[in-house]
Amino acid sequence: MTKAVVVFSGGQDSTTCLAWALRKFGRVQAITFDYGQRHAAELDAARTIAGKLGVRHRVVDLRGFGQCSESALTRADVEVAAGGGLGGLPSTFTPCRNLVFLTMAAAYAISEGAFDLVTGVCETDYSGYPDCRRRTIDHLQETIALGNDLPGFWIHTPLMFRDKRETVELARDLGILPLLADTHTCYFGRRPACGTCPACILRLRGFAAACVPDPIEYEVSAG
Amino acid sequence: MTKAVVVFSGGQDSTTCLAWALRKFGRVQAITFDYGQRHAAELDAARTIAGKLGVRHRVVDLRGFGQCSESALTRADVEVAAGGGLGGLPSTFTPCRNLVFLTMAAAYAISEGAFDLVTGVCETDYSGYPDCRRRTIDHLQETIALGNDLPGFWIHTPLMFRDKRETVELARDLGILPLLADTHTCYFGRRPACGTCPACILRLRGFAAACVPDPIEYEVSAG
């Protein structure tokens, strides 16, 4: 029976990916990285949703990643070397973050005998993040296949070319809209969500465009 | 000034790489991963050697990696899915381990404004490890370059096609033989080293073939 591992943050996108994987694969497991998220609520949401879907779920301590990346780029007082290509990237970009998550998730998947990995990365909404592009994912997939002698290893990106509206429509078609009530999006970690931060606005726009009510509560309605 | 980061375990090979990098690059930093090594002495050796070479050194907590990889493949009671390509690999192979180390090290390097990464992986001695082959490293290099919009990112592997004799000769030519007295090789972590485990024997053979005395002490001489 084909077995897949889903990189699962407990957010709207990866919850949709988890439901997508449950339709496509015989057996599905989820992995969540604790990298010192701003809000512990995100990890709680991941545990709650995995439990409701009856999916085996592992939380992996990756707080050490902060020791790698909390460096020059994230400190205004340190000069970044000239000539690097990082100047044009959004200030929220952390070098190699998705690559580290996906490679760690691949280690887990392969150790569990699963050769299909699923991630919610998306070119449409995050075109400024070069590690979210399908071309990068293709190269990573080939690297992992070569590095483990596993030519059949695959990284699935069901949301890659969907915009937020289409992602909400996919969630609706998969019948998991009620489950999205447990997901966290608000940048400030508020519950009810603030409704005014960029993350809340992006989420609300997607639901509005899909003509689907967002099941979470907001302090301020964007509508 | 060109700046490089060396993946540094405190062992013979990565110490030689560190000395090699100090000759080649204007500024050099070292990164060591604490992944729950069998012997704390390895981390101590890394700190000692980095100190003697005056190299900035960061130890990153990666013990969470064990949560990813201590799974089916490392447990005899769990069946590994049929059809995987892992059957032919050595039992000591951990899926994605080098890929995770190198990607984390790349995150650190890029955050520090260093676009050259140095690692001691080697096809000659570890041909059974598919993530030590230059072809895999080439793909990873391209993945990291694409994933960070850094076309100039490079992974250097000075030991890739050297056998143990040639690595000892390189250490001699770099003038760091006395420093190898601080490196740890023994599989059992003994000091004096046991001299009879496969790791000690491989090390002793390299020194013998290069006609160079090994500066560490052994309980039993293989000579």
Q: Has residue A121 got a pLDDT over 80?
A: yes
Q: What is the pLDDT of residue A73?
A: 44
B65–A107 C-beta distance less than 8 A: yes
Domain with CATH 3.40.50.620 in chain A: 3-179
Instruction: Give the pLDDT confidence of B18-52 residue by residue, as tens digits.
Output: 999 999 999 999 999 998 776 778 899 999 999 99
Q: Which neighbouring-strand residues pair with A4? A: A28, A116
3-state DSSP of chain A = CCEEEEECCCCHHHHHHHHHHHHHCCEEEEEEEECCCCCHHHHHHHHHHHHHHCCEEEEEECCCHHHHHCCHHHCCCCCCCCCCHHHHCCCCCCCCHHHHHHHHHHHHHHHCCCCEEECCCCCCCCCCCHHHCHHHHHHHHHHHHHHCCCCCCEEECCCCCCCHHHHHHHHHHCCCHHHHHHCCCCCCCCCCECCCCHHHHHHHHHHHHCCCCCCCCECCCCC
- At the topology level, CATH places domain A3-179 in Rossmann fold (3.40.50)
Q: How confident is the model at residue A77 (pLDDT cuts 50, 70, 90)?
A: very low
CB of B35 within 8 Å of a chain A CB? The answer is no
Output the average pLDDT for chain B.
88
ipTM: 0.88
Lowest mean pLDDT among A76-80, B144-148, B193-197, B208-212: A76-80
For the domain covering B3-178, report its CATH number: 3.40.50.620
Output the pLDDT for position B127.
57
pLDDT tens digits, one per residue of A134-166: 999 999 999 999 999 999 999 999 999 999 999
CA distance B100 to chain A (A): 6
- CATH 3.40.50.620 positions along chain B are 3-178
Cβ–Cβ contact B92 with A under 8 A: no
Whether residue A131 is predicted with pLDDT greater than 70 in this model: the reply is yes
The CA distance from B173 to B24, in Å, is 14
CA distance to partner chain A, nearest, from residue B46 (Å): 17
Higher-confidence position of B168 and A74: B168
Per DSSP, the three-state class of B183 is: coil
Any idea of the CA torsion for A89, A94, A99, A102, to the nearest 10 degrees? Answer: -130
Q: Give pTM, 2 decimals.
A: 0.90
Residue carrying the six token digits 């590690």: A131
Tens-digit pLDDT profile for residues B140-186: 999 999 999 999 999 999 999 999 999 999 999 999 999 999 998 88
37-66 of A, contacting B, C-beta below 8 A: 58, 60-65
